[in-house]
Amino acid sequence: MHDHSTNMILVGIDGSRNATVAAAWALAIGRLADSPVKAVAVWTGHPEPHVSGVDDLTSEIHSKTVDAATRSLLDAGLDGIEVTGVRGPVAEALLDASDALGASILVVGTRGLGPLSGLLLGSVSRRLLFATHRPLVVVPCRSTVEPPPLSRVVVGVDCSVVAERVLSWSVAFCADLGVPATIVRCADPGCERPPGYVASVDDRVIAETEEAVGPFRELGVEYSVVVAHCDPRVALLETAEHDEAGLVVVGRLGEGQFRGLGGTASYLVRHSPLPLAVIPDSPDEAAP
């Protein structure tokens, strides 16, 4: 392992198909990186404390939640995932569980409408996007329980502080899994520029990026650098499609030439056809 990028993977599940495909992605990555995968199923009932037998009722709800979540995974052919049940609210419960278990990655689906509690993981994923201090991976609903092998990662960076964290996490992740990366920088010199101006901008951006990606060379991770002259949201998705990548990585916040990676991350959570890893700008000191 390098930098504990995939030390332990935690996935939120609710019995829905979309949560199950998120678990499938987590399990596939966990097997590649030789990392354990655990699941959290959240229940949101609140038995009245004055009701007789409330402890038994709480225990029963907890057991049923874990059993239903475990069954949804096994029915999809996913085994080897330990399931823990916790009481909600959902986003807060997932954040607390990721802290308590020391998860290196928290994985959720984009929307859950399953039989446990109807988590609506679409809204939960957006809440987590702005609240988590750990890397968050959002797996879109169009994914399957048999995800294709991860063959390449597209990494979006700018010249902000969070870009350093994005690169650090990405190189460790790629090294753990033995996959190459495409590093995307956006530059928009505009139109009606003197001859050679665009090429000079590209050369400068490539030189700056090469200075920042030394760890990729040090760990022997194959990479390429792409300079795009368009909106970063478009650039990342087009590059991922062109390179047949299986994961897009961005920072939660950012400034500079990529102008607001937080907005880019928020957009991609809703629109990316590929799993999206979002690296927070302010890490939790307790996080691995």
pLDDT in tens, 49-82: 555 555 667 788 888 888 899 999 999 999 889 9
Nearest to 42 by CA among 101, 91, 85, 96: 85
pLDDT in tens, 94-139: 999 999 999 999 999 986 444 444 344 457 887 888 888 899 999 9
What is the chain's percent helix, strand, coil content, to nearest 5? 45, 20, 40
Taking a C-beta distance cutoff of 8 angstroms, is the pair 15, 116 a contact? yes
Which pLDDT belongs to residue 60?
83
Query: Residue 121 corresponds to which tokens in the numbers above?
Result: 């993981």
- Is the whole model's pTM more than 0.75, yes or no? yes
Q: What is the DSSP string of 153-172?
A: EEEE--SSHHHHHHHHHHHH
Which pLDDT belongs to residue 53?
53
Which pLDDT belongs to residue 99?
92
Which pLDDT belongs to residue 120?
44
List of the chain residues with pLDDT < 70? 1-6, 45-56, 111-122, 188-195, 253-262, 282-288
